[in-house]
Amino acid sequence: MATLMGFDFGLARIGVAVGETESGLAQPLSVVRGEANAQRFGEIAKLIAEWTPQRLVVGLPCALDGTETEMTARCRRFANQLNGRFGLPVSLVDERLSSAEAESMLRELNMGWRERKQHLDALAAQRILQSFLDMGTDT
């Protein structure tokens, strides 16, 4: 059994989720806010210390046709920084439509926009991590 931590990287917020290989299920955890790297990585360090994941999973945004965008490069850099700072293996997962799927799920719960916005990034991270777990990739 291994614990995994997933990330939906954004410039203002980073959604975080955790999951277990034994259950094959991921759950939304939290949202890291702020633009300063020191603050962001400080919060991520606390989460990693608490959950002790064996692998990190980062959503990789691409255009719908699969081409890379400016945000794709930023996510790759974020993944490299996670690996360098925490010494954990990092996997990249195609995250196309994960935020749209999360938004749809929250809308079905009849949440207003403000409430949806508070949960959107963590739920998108959960969708990314669940996708990785569903692939059955070895950790």
What does the pLDDT look like over 42-55, one tens digit per residue?
Answer: 999 999 999 999 99
pLDDT at 40: 94
Identify the CA nearest to 28 among candidates 119, 90, 118: 119
* 75 or 34, greater pLDDT: 75
- Mean pLDDT of all residues belonging to the chain: 85
Residue at 17: amino acid letter: A
Residue 6 tokens, joined: 């997933």
The model's pTM is: 0.83
CATH number at residue 40: 3.30.420.140
User: Which domain does 14 fall in, by range?
Assistant: 3-134
Is 92 contained in some domain?
yes
Q: If 0-12 CB within 10 Å is exposed, 13-18 middle and 19+ buried, where does residue 98 land?
A: buried
**β-strand partners of 27:** 18
Is 106 contained in some domain?
yes
pLDDT at 139: 46
Is 15 contained in some domain?
yes
User: Is the CA virtual torsion 9, 40, 46, 113 positive or negative?
Assistant: negative
Is 23 contained in some domain?
yes
Least confident segment among 23-27, 74-78, 92-96? 92-96
Is 99's pLDDT higher than 90? no
- Sheet with 3-8: list strands edge to edge: 25-33, 13-20, 3-8, 55-60, 90-94
pLDDT in tens, 84-93: 999 999 999 9
Q: How confident is the model at residue 3 (pLDDT cuts 50, 70, 90)?
A: very high
Domain total of the chain:
1
pLDDT in tens, 8-54: 998 889 999 999 999 999 999 999 998 788 999 999 999 999 999 99
Is 139 contained in some domain?
no
Q: How confident is the model at residue 132 (pLDDT cuts 50, 70, 90)?
A: very high
Distance (Å, whole) CA 57 – CA 128: 8
CA angle in degrees (0–180, nearest 5) for 61-108-8: 20
Is 82 contained in some domain?
yes
